[in-house]
A and B are shown apart, each in its own frame.
Chain A
Amino acid sequence: MEFLRPATWDEALAAKAEFPTALPISGGTDVMVEMNFDVHRPSAILDLNRITELRQWEITDGVVRLGASVPYARIINELSEPLPGLALAAHTVGSPQIRNRGGVGGNLGGASPAGDAHPALLAAGRDVFVEVASAARGTRLIAIDDFYVGVKRNSMEKDELILRVHIPVADGPQQFSKIGTRNAMVIAVCAFGFALHPKNGTVGTGIGSAAPTPRRAVAAEEFLQGVLAERGLWESGDLLGAEVIQQFGELVKAAASPIDDVRGTADYRRHSLAVMARRTLTWTWNDYSKQIRSAA
């Protein structure tokens, strides 16, 4: 086995091109568990810890460009305002020690359906992009909706690495909800991310741990967007009414295709998704109404 320690992003891309089977390691919170338990032995390990760009974030033109290795702890401390949904999701990851190391790049690299960043990224809207690069072809942006392609599979090529994720700065309330047996150190039984995007009159959803990949509840989004537009609710901030909330929950539930496993049954997952959908919608809408009323 080789241990590759590129000092710069270009060196990292060159190394990945030369050793396409090298396993990138950032926080190591997924990779090292596999290594310690001998789940697999890669030909080489490609350490990304020395690459400055991966640990940085910036906001330009209303978009957060979040370095792949910015740890969850920093997302919580530094980005709760522009990225409230992702920061809430980050807060549920593992433990303080895990949040000090793990980051969104590793979550995307692993592409587990249970990864907590995914529902928050999906909910943040269709303009979320994963910026990947290779030595041969340079940079490309993968829309978040095209990123997850199967159980623990993403749409990256063997010679590519994730540089950063582009996430629009929140323009409305966002929420994240997760079911587990305790508040720390749980892999989600299922999870749900939700965001209101008043600027373009859309809403975002993200379902975790209840399908082969993280996914959006498209019909639920369209239903709610329709109601909000028809009734002029974006302008008035008036109550949604129980029927709308109920229907939204049912549509989120219908979008899932969960399985029975050690963490929970498919039925329980569907049930709890409807509950989380109703709750997160209510929380965010109440916050939004308050904003409208205080602005009036």
Chain B
Amino acid sequence: MRVTFTANGKPVEADDVWEGESLLYVLRERVGLPGSKNACEQGECGSCTVYLDDVPVCSCLVAAGQVQDREVRTVEGLADESGLDPVQQAFIDAGAVQCGFCTPGLLVQTHDLLEREPQPSDTDIREALSGNLCRCTGYEKIMDAVRLASARKCQKVGTSE
């Protein structure tokens, strides 16, 4: 079947999609957006997290046909012409990326957290990231990165007011 939807603001079209195929497969293999990673295909690791109509979901658990006419935003859609998203920059600056396999999912999930709650407590951060597994970092640097992104975000808000 054919599936058409919006990915990172642009219309995309995927052909010959198998009816049982996941959104993750379509993104990676059919529309050239391999940023979202496939690590478990069962919702356990969060490395495939994308926004579906502004709500973060595991793209491995969304059937491709379910995104017809809807909007998807992947890790590739976080940066814009002015550069990396502050969340991405914070992950680099805090040294929160080792092998990087978990990073795309963590970036999207963190981006959503800070949109909803610009100044989260450590408990809020742990809760928000509880569906994202990382086998390298031990999570401390990831916590640092989220706190850093939050601090920068709050500072920006502070100075613009």
Q: List chain A residues, Cβ under 8 A from B22.
A: 32, 35-36
| In the assembled complex, A79 has its CB within 8 A of some CB on chain B | no
Q: Mark B59-74, 1 if CB is under 8 A from A, else 0.
A: 0111101101000000
Of the listed stretches B26-34, B42-50, B85-93, chain A binds B42-50
> A29 vs B61: C-alpha distance in the bound complex, in angstroms?
6
Tell me the residues in window 219-265 of chain A with beta carbons closer than 8 Å to chain B beta carbons.
none
Given contacts A3-B19, A33-B43, contact A101 B65 (CB under 8 A): no
B56 close to A32 (CB less than 8 A):
no
A97 close to B18 (CB less than 8 A):
no
Q: Mark A39-56, 1 if CB is under 8 A from B, else 0.
A: 001001101010000000
Q: Mark A156-189, 1 if CB is under 8 A from B, else 0.
A: 0000000000000000000000000001110000
In the complex, the chain B residue whose C-beta lies closest to that of A42 is: B20
Taking the closest CB of chain B, its distance from the CB of A19, in whole angstroms, is 12
| In the assembled complex, B77 has its CB within 8 A of some CB on chain A | no
Q: Could you say which of A1, A95, A101 contacts B130, with CB atoms under 8 Å apart?
A: A95
Q: List chain B residues, Cβ under 8 A from A100.
A: 55-57
B130 close to A36 (CB less than 8 A):
no
Q: Mark B101-117, 1 if CB is under 8 A from A, else 0.
A: 00000000100000000
| In the assembled complex, A98 has its CB within 8 A of some CB on chain B | yes
A36 close to B60 (CB less than 8 A):
yes
| In the assembled complex, A62 has its CB within 8 A of some CB on chain B | no
A94 close to B43 (CB less than 8 A):
yes
In the complex, the chain A residue whose C-beta lies closest to that of B44 is: A185
Taking the closest CB of chain A, its distance from the CB of B134, in whole angstroms, is 14
A101 close to B62 (CB less than 8 A):
yes
The number of A-B residue pairs with CB atoms under 8 Å apart is 89
| In the assembled complex, A28 has its CB within 8 A of some CB on chain B | yes
> A153 vs B65: C-alpha distance in the bound complex, in angstroms?
27
| In the assembled complex, B148 has its CB within 8 A of some CB on chain A | no
| In the assembled complex, A2 has its CB within 8 A of some CB on chain B | yes
> A94 vs B66: C-alpha distance in the bound complex, in angstroms?
21
B19 close to A185 (CB less than 8 A):
no
Q: List chain A residues, Cβ under 8 A from B60.
A: 32, 36
Q: Could you say which of B63, B109, B131 contacts A28, with CB atoms under 8 Å apart?
A: B63
Q: What is the interface size of chain A, counting residues whose CB is below 8 A from a CB of the partner?
A: 29
| In the assembled complex, A5 has its CB within 8 A of some CB on chain B | yes
In the complex, the chain B residue whose C-beta lies closest to that of A49 is: B66
> A71 vs B68: C-alpha distance in the bound complex, in angstroms?
20
| In the assembled complex, B144 has its CB within 8 A of some CB on chain A | no
| In the assembled complex, B140 has its CB within 8 A of some CB on chain A | no
> A49 vs B66: C-alpha distance in the bound complex, in angstroms?
7
Q: List chain A residues, Cβ under 8 A from B43.
A: 29, 32-33, 94-95, 97-98
Q: Could you say which of A37, A47, A97 contacts B131, with CB atoms under 8 Å apart?
A: A97
> A3 vs B43: C-alpha distance in the bound complex, in angstroms?
22
Q: Mark A74-116, 1 if CB is under 8 A from B, else 0.
A: 0000000000000000000011111011000000000000000
Q: List chain B residues, Cβ under 8 A from A32.
A: 22, 43, 60-63
Q: Could you say which of A1, A28, A185 contacts B62, with CB atoms under 8 Å apart?
A: A28
Tell me the residues in window 1-19 of chain A with beta carbons closer than 8 Å to chain B beta carbons.
1-3, 5
A36 close to B65 (CB less than 8 A):
no
19 example contacts (A-B, Cβ-Cβ < 8 A) are as follows A3-B63, A3-B65, A5-B65, A29-B58, A35-B63, A36-B41, A36-B60, A37-B41, A44-B19, A45-B19, A47-B63, A47-B66, A95-B130, A96-B131, A97-B49, A97-B109, A101-B57, A185-B44, A185-B130
- B residues near A, CB below 8 A? 1, 18-20, 22, 41-44, 46, 49, 55-58, 60-63, 65-66, 68, 109, 127-128, 130-132
A3-B1, A101-B57 known, 12 other contacts, Cβ within 8 Å = A1-B18, A3-B65, A25-B63, A27-B61, A29-B43, A29-B61, A33-B42, A41-B20, A95-B130, A96-B130, A97-B109, A100-B55
**Which 3 pairs across A and B sit closest by C-beta, in order of nearness?**
A95-B131, A184-B130, A1-B19
